[in-house]
Amino acid sequence: MNTYAEKQISALAAGISLLEGYFTELPEMVTDLASLRQTIGISRIDQFPRVGNDPETALKIATSLQTAVVFLDEESAALARPILAQAEQVIAADIRVRIAPKLDGIYVIVDPEATRGRPVTDVARQSLEGGATVVQLRDKLNDKGDILKSARGLKALCDEYDALFVMNDHADLARASDAHVLHVGQTDLPIPEARDILAPTQLIGNSNNGLDQALPSSRQSVDYLAVGAIYATTTMGKSGRSALGPEEITRVKEAVTQPIVAIGGINQTNIADVVRAGADSVCVVSAVTFADDPESATRELVNLYNDARS
């Protein structure tokens, strides 16, 4: 074995040792990593600083280690790949759990067909100025190249306001735009296939027409559950859905662990009931995007949301 390969294997063993320190509360993961390190032939390395509970650093290590596997013999590499892949998945899930609480407050969907002819970026900026914490791009009108351009602009805008950017429907555009979140419906790309396309730390949310859909969704790797339509609405193709009522939010909230996003017909007159029912985030379209002043409309919703939560 040449000197360069020896250095790579030593670095691999050191990285595995660091990951053992991260997984202190998952003994099975620690056992697998320790077994892998011992297979490589190097004992635990204690002179390196511990990763502790820092998932971002741990993820970088787990990802980089997978590139070093090529320097192992065939048998060791076959053992290492699934263990390191599992470690990456677990760490990424930890990161998503830390991001998910940002789904709190007013969630605005911007759609070029529902902005009264105004650019989606203009409406999004005004909603963010008004205090929106999440912005989703929904575009059934334009070609993917144009949608990607809008998505990248909205992602940069959301980063500026420390808000979450959500890409609707398209896992490939979510990945290409580095969206924080992908949102899919019940008949869109299945969650496992979407997860394969996305970066490990990108969140997935999905739409649910009540508890019957929310329960199986919650058992998949979704990071939030949208529930609606709560009230009758003609926006976003939901005119054919029966209104669930805010009581359904409570039913779903009590049955799942993921954050709940309420959607459908929510405006200034009924948002308080939705929040009191247990919604973590309230998704609106026309209440903001059809308003003469989206910033003021959003600010009013934010105030009503906060009052209902207090």
State pTM to two decimals: 0.90
CA dihedral 147, 151, 157, 159 (to 10 degrees): 180
Q: What is the pLDDT of residue 45?
A: 54
Is residue 253 pLDDT above 70, yes or no? yes
d(CA 122, CA 157): 10
Going by C-alpha positions, the residue among 157, 191, 198 that lies closest to residue 175 is 198
274-278: long-range contacts, CB 8 A cutoff, minimum separation 24: 274/230, 274/246, 274/249, 275/304, 275/305, 275/308, 275/309, 276/246, 276/308, 277/246, 277/247, 277/249, 277/250, 277/253, 278/249, 278/250, 278/253, 278/254
CB 152 within 8 A of CB 173: no
pLDDT (tens digit, 9 = 90+) per residue, 126-144? 999 999 999 999 999 999 9
CB 271 within 8 A of CB 302: no
205 three-state secondary structure:
strand
CB 223 within 8 A of CB 200: no
CB 118 within 8 A of CB 282: no
Range with the lowest mean pLDDT among 10-19, 138-147, 217-226, 247-256?
A: 10-19
d(CA 56, CA 91): 8
Q: Which residues contact 31 (CB under 8 A, 6 or more apart)?
A: none
Q: What is the pLDDT of residue 43?
A: 59
d(CA 52, CA 22): 5
Is residue 228 pLDDT above 70, yes or no? yes
Quick count: other Cβ atoms within 10 Å of Cβ 39? 17
Range with the lowest mean pLDDT among 148-162, 241-255, 286-300?
A: 241-255
Compute the average pLDDT of residues 42-55: 64
Residue ranges of domains in the chain, CATH in brackets = 3-97 (no CATH), 103-309 (3.20.20.70)
* Residue that wins the pLDDT comparison between 100 and 203: 203
Q: What is the pLDDT of residue 53?
A: 78
Compute the average pLDDT of residues 73-98: 92
281 three-state secondary structure:
strand
